[in-house]
Amino acid sequence: MVLKVCMNCPFHEITQNVDNQSVSFCGKENCYSVYSRCIGQKALEDFLRKNGVPMGLKRSALDLCYSSEI
């Protein structure tokens, strides 16, 4: 899975695996998204930081997105 936040990162690379499929690789964390959840975690942290939500309140991300629908 490739996230929008990863596409802007200078450490993000798209590589080819042995089956000639594109694979997302994070050079900073030294991991492939297919094997790890770190890219999703980094995207969540980036979202919370940009929207001014305290890092300890990850539940607030849902409130921030859906508060107008309630």
pLDDT tens per residue, range 28-59 = 777 776 666 666 677 777 777 777 766 555 55
- How far is residue 44's CA from residue 32's CA, in Å, rounded to a whole number? 17
Provide the token pair at 6.
């990863």
Residue 64 phi, psi (nearest 5): -65, -40
Q: What is the pTM of this model?
A: 0.41
Q: Report pLDDT for 70.
A: 44
> How many folded domains does the chain comprise?
1
Which domain, by its residues, includes 31? 4-69
Note the Cα 34 to chain centre separation in Å.
12
Do the beta carbons of residue 1 and residue 24 sit within 8 Å?
A: yes
More confident residue, 21 or 38: 21
